[in-house]
Amino acid sequence: MLDIISFLTQIPVRKGTKIEEVAAKSYLFPFVALLIGLLVAAVAFVVFECSGSAPEIAALLVLLAIYLVTGLMHLDGLADFFDGVMAGGTKEDKRRAMKDEKIGIAGLFATVFVILLSFFAIETVCTSLTKTAPVHSFDLRSFYHFASVFVIAEVSAKISMNTCMISGKSKEGAGDGMGMGALFIHSFSKFGYVLALISAILISLIFTAFSLRFFIVFTGIAVALFVSRIAKSNFGDVGVSGDVIGASNELARCASLVVWAIIIV
């Protein structure tokens, strides 16, 4: 578990992360998402309750907190993924563009767009939560509402990664991805995916008080299936790589926050 926390976050719990251990236990991703979501929710709860008439600054601080906790690795995967998808030429040319260390205009645009969309979704959701609560209500019930948003968004992002891993398998069940993605795909099993899915659903039920809002977590699965299909169409059967898995994480979190914003307003 410490290896997985070290891999998915910037929390200094262990030096020298064993990537093989992380890949073998990736069905535990939803539990790390719970930790990330609670940390980000704590920041959001404090800054929005104290921000007064400056929700934009508060939303920016929350967005900064997300990437201070999770790092920029998956954001880099998002940029590489869109560079590959938007590149011209053959599937081999597209794979080469995705693996290029330089970020192209497509990757830059996609990254900025996702960050901005996440920013506006966070501002909308948290401002709405603050308006419905008493002024400066630093109580457990108010925090629970913030935790619901960020825990489920992060769990959605991590089950999206798990879904990409399982969808990236060949008919024989072997990992067909490129680089690090191949290790995760090869190590991930259908049983592991069932465990991850059950964990994601249970966490979501707890943080939505067993309401129908727990369905927001399935946003991550829908995003992953869509991203995997695009990857295989553009890059071939070996299309689901580490960059694709990372991109699904960022897109799923953003999409879940947007769904929250639509529902809660």
Token output for 54: 């400056």
pLDDT tens digit string along 8-20?
Answer: 999 988 777 788 8
**Alpha carbon 83 to chain centroid, angstroms:** 19
pLDDT-flagged residues of the chain (< 50):
171-177
Q: Is 169 helix (H, G, I), strand (E, B) or coil?
A: strand
Q: Which domain holds residue 25?
A: 2-264
Residues whose CB is less than 8 angstroms from the CB of residue 243 and which lie 6 or more positions away in sequence, other chains included: 76, 77, 78, 80, 81, 84, 98, 99, 181
The pLDDT assigned to 136 comes to: 58
CA angle, residues 213, 214, 216, in degrees to nearest 5: 80
Amino acid 177 reads G
For residue 176, the model assigns a pLDDT of: 45
Q: Round to whole Å and give the CA distance between 120 and 132.
A: 19
* pLDDT tens-digit map of 23-37: 999 999 999 999 999
User: What pTM did the predictor assign?
Assistant: 0.92
Token pair 């992360």: residue: 17
Number of domains in the chain: 1
Neighbouring CB atoms inside 10 A of 230's CB total: 17
What pLDDT is attached to residue 133?
60
Whole-number pLDDT of residue 15: 78
* Residue among 245, 253, 263 nearest 119 (CA): 253
pLDDT at 139: 78
**Nearest Cα to 151, choosing from 100, 99, 205?**
205
Residue 174 confidence (pLDDT): 42
